Structure 1
Amino acid sequence: MLLAIDAGNTNIVFALVERGTVRARWRIATDPRRTADEYAVWLRQLLDLEGFKSADVTAVIIGTVVPRATHNLQVLANKYFGTAALVAGQGDAGWPMALDVEEPQSVGADRALNALAAHAKHDGVLVVVDFGTATTFDLVGADGAYRGGIIAPGINLSIDALVNAAAKLPRIAIEAPADDSVIGRTTESQMLIGIYWGYVAMIEGLVERLKRQVGAPVTVIGTGGLATLFDKRTSVFDAVEPDLTIQGLSLLYDQVSGKA
């Protein structure tokens, strides 16, 4: 089976993929100082809890936006799984589609992987909205090329900024409000309205602007952990694909290894 590793700024997701299907996934906070040995102790226990063994992992592919974490993940693959990890966008695992932007080398691996997976699953021009540390909006051409997009502060960053800058505001959990009212009666409800509905308005507004600029039919795909939360109260998404980045890693591995 393939161990697909998505190393983001906030969390690293490890997913066990068999013939394109995610069999198990685990998440750990991103810490570039974490060693391969620490990853192995944690991961081996989780594999065992899910009924898998280290020997079940026959290949590893890494997609990362945290360069300092890459080396230890590569050591993990070599030392504990006996395989050289592919790194998405590098060497033999170079991008199979065009990155049609002014600075292609600066495109995050997660965004390119999302574009790759989205194009494989959907036809036509696409917009991928990914809820991560940042919220990104990526335009994918009908030919699969990455055409650029938008980077906005992630919702948890927005909450952190608000709470850290205002001494009397409490930290709140992000969730869908109980109803559609935008008049809060408590401090917490006013904060939730501002964050949640403000984010919905941003998503809908930016997607509408993208559609107008493209001037052609567009399919909008939501991904990332919070996509399903916002999908409850907006019709902006045509599809929600929570595992799009992992699917992109699996697809890239299959193409590199000749299985696609």
Structure 2
Amino acid sequence: MLLAADVGNTNVVFALFEGREIRARWRIATDPRRTGDEYAVWLLQLLQIEGVAREDITQLIFASVVPRANHNLTVLAEKYFGKTPIIAGQGDAAWPFAIDVDQPSSLGADRALNILAAHEKYGGDLIVVDFGTATKFEAIDFNGTYKGGIIAPGINLSLDALVGKTAKLPRIAIRAPDDTSVIGRNTEDQMLIGVFWAHVAMMEGLIARMREEIGRPAKVVATGGLAILFDQKTDIFDYVDADLTIEGLAILAEKVGG
């Protein structure tokens, strides 16, 4: 079995794969100070619940946008599983697609995994939208080449800035509004309209501009924790694939072998 971990700015997602099939997944808050021993205490209990022994793990692969976490995950792999982990984007696990941008080395691991998995699963010209701490847009041509993208503040970052920089506005929960009205009748509704529909308008507008610039029909793939939420209120997505990033790790591990 393959144990994969995607370290984002907010959460670490672990997934247990049999082939490309996800058998189990777990999520823990990202903390660069969390040691390999701490990961092990938590993770080995979860594996036991699934009826999986540590000896059943034959391969480990990690991707991280938090460099300080790499050492602790490597300790986890070597000390508790007796394996040298594959680090996505490094060595034999270098990205297996062309990166046609000014600074190829600046491409984040999470974005690269989305590019890899989207091309493998859907083909053709693609726009991938990942709703995370930041909302990221990727343009991928029919050869799988990464052509560039966009990084925008995520909806929760926008809400944090709005609440944090004002004295009286309350903290509200992000959800899909009850209707399509953009004229709020109270403060909470006005704030929800401001952050939710503004994000939808931004997303739809940028995707339209990207499609025009690409000049060919491009399918739109949405991923990330809030993709399903936005899918309720827009028809711009061709596919919603919540597991795209973590599946990219399984695809990369398969290509590396071992």
Q: RMSD between aligned alpha carbons? A: 0.9
Deviation at 1:193, TM superposition (A): 0.8
Deviation at 1:50, TM superposition (A): 2.8
CA distance in 2, matches of 1:172, 1:57: 42
1:46 paired residue number: 46
Correspondence 1:138 to 2:138: yes
SS in structure 2 of the partner of residue 45 of structure 1: helix
CA distance in 2, matches of 1:52, 1:203: 41
CA distance in 1, matches of 2:207, 2:74: 37
Q: Deviations over 1:143-189 (max 9, x none)?
A: 01111100000111111111100111111111101111111111111
1:174 paired residue number: 174
Deviation at 1:113, TM superposition (A): 0.7
CA distance in 1, matches of 2:100, 2:170: 43
2:29 paired residue number: 29
2:45 maps to a residue whose letter is Q
2:208 paired residue number: 208
Q: Deviations over 1:23-74 (max 9, x none)?
A: 1111111111100000000111222223323222211101111111101001
CA distance in 2, matches of 1:184, 1:157: 21
2:117 paired residue number: 117
* Structure 1 residue runs of 4 or more that deviate by more than 4 Å after TM superposition: none
Q: Deviations over 1:89-133 (max 9, x none)?
A: 101111111111110000001111100000011121000000011
CA distance in 2, matches of 1:97, 1:123: 13
Q: Residues 167 and 50 of structure 1: is their aligned pair in 2 closer, same or farther, counting only changes over 3 Å? A: farther
Correspondence 1:62 to 2:62: yes
SS in structure 2 of the partner of residue 40 of structure 1: helix
2:57 maps to a residue whose letter is V
2:198 paired residue number: 198
1:239 paired residue number: 239
CA distance in 1, matches of 2:18, 2:144: 24
**Please, which runs of 5 or more residues in structure 1 have no aligned partner?**
none
SS in structure 2 of the partner of residue 150 of structure 1: strand
2:73 paired residue number: 73
CA distance in 2, matches of 1:203, 1:244: 19
Deviation at 1:82, TM superposition (A): 1.1
2:229 maps to a residue whose letter is L
CA distance in 2, matches of 1:42, 1:174: 29
CA distance in 1, matches of 2:202, 2:3: 35
2:223 paired residue number: 223
**Please, which runs of 5 or more residues in structure 2 have no aligned partner?**
none
1:245 maps to a residue whose letter is T
2:103 paired residue number: 103
Correspondence 1:251 to 2:251: yes
State the percentage of identical aligned residues: 64
SS in structure 2 of the partner of residue 152 of structure 1: strand
TM-score, with length taken from structure 1: 0.97
TM-score, with length taken from structure 2: 0.98
CA distance in 2, matches of 1:14, 1:66: 15
Matches of residues 8-27 of structure 1 in structure 2 within 5 Å? 8-27=8-27
For these two proteins, the number of residue pairs brought into alignment is 258
1:16 maps to a residue whose letter is L
